Structure 1
Amino acid sequence: MKIPKIQGFDQDALEKYVKNTGWLMIARVGSLGIKILVGFALANYLGASQLGILTYPTSFVTFFVAAAALGVDGFVTRELLRFPEKKNELMGTAFVLKVTGGLTIIPLIYFAYLVYSSVKPLETPFSYILILSFTGILQAFNIIDSYFQSRTQGKYIMTVQIAGNLISAATKLLLIILGAGLTWFVFALLFDVLLLAAGYLYIYQRNGGSILNWKFEGTIAKFLLRNSWPLAFSAVLVSIYMSIDKLMVEYYLGKAELGIYGTVVSLAESWYFIPVAIVTSVFPAIMNARRDDLVRYQRRMQNMYDLMVWISLSLAIFMTFAASLIYRIFLPKFLSGAPVLSIHIWAGIFVFLGSASGQFLIAEGYIKLSMMRTAMGAVVNIVLNIFWIPKYGIAGAAYATLIAYFVSTFWILLIPQTRQQGIMMLRSLFLITLFQKISARNSLQE
């Protein structure tokens, strides 16, 4: 298939990276369809209160799991691009660091649960949280994902994710048919992570790699920790401002409202795979352009911002009008979530733009700036949730998320080094570049 030529991109590079994006998109679209259908069935089976209890452990451990990853995944991808001959040393060292981080967070999770439950008794038993805390260890195998990303081999990622999601969906549907209790579905969530880890390991071995060749090197460990800690801290902050609203909904409103809000977040965030897939695939092309041609580099960034806005705006408009119909047909027990989804879905525009601008910050070495803007979003989200959830309910949480994502994304306008990128995003957001391209095309046709 011939890929249409887009101004600002080399055709050969475009063919390579768009095809890789296509593989990633197929994987994520398959995952999206499966997760949504199973999510509908699971929500209706459990009901709002039990769904809230099931949602809570995942939200609780998210912050710790993000910390356990140590921020090395993205950094290892960059280093594998630069030094592919150091594959075994980089991956082996990163794997050991991530496993160590996963083991470390388990007692920390227990301590956090004791402290939090002393303030407000939790309806979610610690056993559920403990089960999911082991995802911090299993996520160490995600380093294999970094290897395939560095080689732009999206088809292998597709294979793992599609197979894993099919098995996961079948497992949850079987549990529903058998009338299983809530504890089984908690184990099913851990099983999802185990499937992904096993899949990555299998496909890596299948393509000539072997974890037996991985090596831990102290010098590389120090290098990774020294350079990736801002990314680790940023990942924790991201998890805070993307998940803290769920914990606060449960704190202020209870498990039933958390169950309803959980369906909203699930539907709204189901689309967030799109910017990740696109950015992951074209990041090598952007890095190459930065090295070889700064003008082309800026054009590629502007094109990416344009693409992010076009996709996210289309999704936001569609979901705003479709929300009520979706809930009436598939989630009749959760109808109060429909108007909240119409609010939350618009936060996706800033998530899409934030994912793209995040690559600029990495390419330019502005890791600490990336961390600072994430921190701003987290603070705004927490403060607004404190005031708005008690007053407006789960709609307040959705509005807080929307504003927090906006602040986080466009905070770079306040920094001189990054202001130009913020202006470029605004040009895309207000469709200025779209109209310019349409005008230029019409002029050429005349």
Structure 2
Amino acid sequence: MRIPKISGFDQDALEKYVKNTGWLMIARVGSLAVKMLLNIALANYLLKVKLGILNYPMTIATFFIAMAALGLDGFVTRELLRDPEKEHKLLGTAFLLKLAGGLLILPFVYLTYIALNHFSPASAPFYYVLIVSLTGIFQSFNIIDSYFQSKTQGKFIMRVQIVANLVSAAIKGLLILLHSNLTWFIFALLFDAALLAFGYFYMYKQNGGNIFKWTFDGKLAKYLLTNSWPLALSAILVTVYMRIDQLMITQYLGEGPLGVYTNPVQWTESCYFIPVAIVTSVFPAIMNARRDDPERYRRRMQNMYDLMVWISLSLAIFVTFAAPFIFELYDPVYAEGAHVLSILIWASIFAFLGTASGQFLIAEGYTKLTMTRTAAGAVVNVVLNIFWIPKYGIEGAAFATLIAFATSTFWILLIPKTRDQGIMMLKSLFLITLFRKLKRNHIT
């Protein structure tokens, strides 16, 4: 099947990258369908208080798991594209750095739990949080994903994710049928991470890779940490403005409202695979254009922003109308989640644009700016949640998240060297470039 020609992209390269995106899409859509059906069954089985307790450990651990990743995944992909001969050194060094990070976060998780529990006692015991935090160790194997991305081999990622999600869903479904208690579902979260890690390892081995050839290089480790730390801090800050609302809901309102809120959050975040899959697949083409043809590089970025808006806007409109019907599948205790979903889904427009512009920042080496824009979004989210959660409840948290995403995405308008990209995103957001293309096609 031939891919329609898109202005600004080489047709042969486009065929390659879109097909890779297609594999990623298939994997994620399959995972999404299974995951969301399971989430509905799990929510109806646990009901909102126990569901809130189940999600509370992840709310704490996510901050530290992002810290343990050290921002290496995307940066290693770029380095593998630049110098594929260093595969074993890059993967080995990054793996050991991430493994060390996964171990070092554990005492910080404990201290955070103690501090939060002092102000507002949690129903989830510490060992729940500890079990979930151990996923930070298994995520070291995610560096293999960077290898496949650098080779534009999304089909291998697809196989791992589909199998892992099907097995995970089967196990959780079995736990529901056996009327298992909450502790088993906590262990299931850790099992998910271990299963995915094994899948990446197995697929790498099947494609001729050998992790025993990986080596650690001290100088390379210093180089990676020096260049990726802004991305690591950005990842932490991303979790702040994507997760702090859930932590603050628990502190202000308790586990019950958190249980209601997590359902629309999961629906919204399940859509965020779309920009990641697209941008990850075409990133090599964008990097090549930057090296060879600045004007083509600019056109490709504008086309990317256009595509992000077209997809996310269509998605937001559809989900806004579909939200009441989606929540008819849930127990009536979750009814308020429909309105929250219709608010949160509009943040996807800014999430899609932010993902695309984030690749521009990486390509240009503006990693510190990535950190700055994320920090701006995090600060806005925290401040708004302080005022809006006590007054408006979980709907206030949803609006705070929406504004935080918009702030983070368009922060680059305030920076002279990136303002041009911000203007390009605005043109896409207000459909200016779309109307220009339609007018040009009408004339021709």
TM over 0.5: yes
Q: Distance in 2 between matches of 1:108 and 1:328?
A: 40
Q: Distance in 2 between matches of 1:112 and 1:248?
A: 14
Deviations, residues 139-196 of structure 1 (Å, cap 9, x unaligned): 0000000000000000000000000000000011000000000000001111111111
Q: Distance in 1 between matches of 2:220 and 2:207?
A: 25
Moved more, 191-200 or 119-128: 119-128
Q: Distance in 2 between matches of 1:139 and 1:238?
A: 17
Partner of 2:68: 68
Q: Per-residue deviation at 1:437?
A: 0.8
Q: State whether structure 2 residue 391 is matched by structure 1 residue 404.
A: no
Q: State whether structure 2 residue 302 is matched by structure 1 residue 284.
A: no
Kept in 1, the 8 Å contact 2:241–2:377? The answer is yes
Q: Per-residue deviation at 1:112?
A: 1.2
Secondary structure, aligned partner of 2:417: coil
Residue identity matched to 1:174: L
Q: Distance in 1 between matches of 2:426 and 2:306?
A: 10
Partner of 2:14: 14
Partner of 2:231: 231
Partner of 1:352: 352
Secondary structure, aligned partner of 1:365: coil
Q: Per-residue deviation at 1:329?
A: 3.0
Q: Distance in 1 between matches of 2:145 and 2:425?
A: 29
In structure 1, the gaps of 5 or more residues are: none
Q: Per-residue deviation at 1:225?
A: 0.8
Q: Distance in 2 between matches of 1:144 and 1:332?
A: 42
Partner of 2:153: 153
Q: State whether structure 2 residue 197 is matched by structure 1 residue 202.
A: no
Q: Per-residue deviation at 1:268?
A: 1.2
In structure 2, the gaps of 5 or more residues are: none
Q: Distance in 1 between matches of 2:54 and 2:20?
A: 35
Kept in 2, the 8 Å contact 1:316–1:346? The answer is yes
Q: Per-residue deviation at 1:333?
A: 3.0
Partner of 2:440: 440
Deviations, residues 264-320 of structure 1 (Å, cap 9, x unaligned): 101111100000000100000000000000100010000000000011001100111
Q: Distance in 2 between matches of 1:250 and 1:315?
A: 29
Secondary structure, aligned partner of 2:258: helix
Residue identity matched to 2:155: K
Aligned pairs for 1:151-190 within 5 A? 151-190=151-190
Deviations, residues 212-233 of structure 1 (Å, cap 9, x unaligned): 1000111111111111111111
Q: Per-residue deviation at 1:331?
A: 4.3
Secondary structure, aligned partner of 2:85: helix
Q: Per-residue deviation at 1:82?
A: 0.8
Aligned pairs for 1:210-249 within 5 A? 210-249=210-249
Q: Distance in 1 between matches of 2:120 and 2:327?
A: 32
Kept in 2, the 8 Å contact 1:44–1:333? The answer is no
Partner of 1:419: 419
Q: Distance in 1 between matches of 2:329 and 2:39?
A: 14
Q: Distance in 2 between matches of 1:337 and 1:153?
A: 37
Pairs aligned (count) = 444
Partner of 1:265: 265
Partner of 1:364: 364
Partner of 2:316: 316
Q: Distance in 1 between matches of 2:190 and 2:443?
A: 57
Q: Distance in 1 between matches of 2:200 and 2:329?
A: 36
Kept in 2, the 8 Å contact 1:230–1:368? The answer is yes
Partner of 1:376: 376
Q: Distance in 2 between matches of 1:89 and 1:359?
A: 24
Q: Distance in 2 between matches of 1:404 and 1:430?
A: 19
Q: Distance in 1 between matches of 2:364 and 2:75?
A: 13
Percent of residue pairs identical: 68
